Each structure stands twice: as C-alpha cells, then as structure tokens.
Amino acid sequence: MRISTTGWACLADQVALRRRAAEVGPEFAYFDLRTNELGNHYETTDLDEIDRGGALRLAAEKLRADAGSSALADADRGIAADALARLYAYVKEDAQ
C-alpha cells in the first residue's frame, strides 16, 4: 500500500499521522507513506508545545520563519520545515 498525502496539516496532526502509519504499516506486505506534498500549517500552540521560552523556542521560531521565507530557496524552506517537524516530534516523544 502506498499513501500519498497532499494539502496542509499542523505539526500535531502530522506527528499523529506518522505514528499511526508506523503502527499499521507492519500489517501490510508493503507500506509507504509519502508526505512530501503535505504542507505545514503552523499554529502558535505548536510552538508552545515545543517550549514557551528559551533556546528551544528560539530555534522553533527561527525554523518557522525560515520555512516561510520567500528569500530562501524551496529546498532550504523544505529543510527548515522538516527540521521544525522533527523538533516537534522529538519534544512530543519525550513528553510521553
């Protein structure tokens, strides 16, 4: 099974999607979740869940700004968006 996502999702929904895919993936002979066409919709609450202040919050804000910056190349914006999503996932993983 191959699932290709499109549209927009907040960081919490993206993490939930990837976790659920990891849970059900082994039930299939072939499972491939493709999220490269899934855009990031950032909410203030997403950044608050990373941290309300300090170094992590500053890093999250910088990554969010870079992900939406028209001054950067598409590849660089994608890297920033992926890094922010990964930071969010790490923080949420540690909270569990």
31-41: per-residue pLDDT in tens? 999 988 888 88
Handedness of CA 34, 40, 45, 47 (dihedral sign): positive
Q: Where are the domains of the chain?
A: 2-95
Check residue 95 and give its pLDDT.
65
Written as six digits, the tokens of 71 are: 């001054």
Q: Are 8 and 37 in contact (CB under 8 A)?
A: no
Intervals of the chain under pLDDT 50: none
CB burial class (10 A; 0-12, 13-18, 19+) of residue 85?
A: buried
Q: What is the pTM of this model?
A: 0.75
Check residue 47 and give its pLDDT.
87
Q: How far apart are CA 56 and CA 59, in angstroms?
A: 5
Check residue 15 and give its pLDDT.
86
Q: How far apart are CA 17 and CA 35, in angstroms?
A: 10
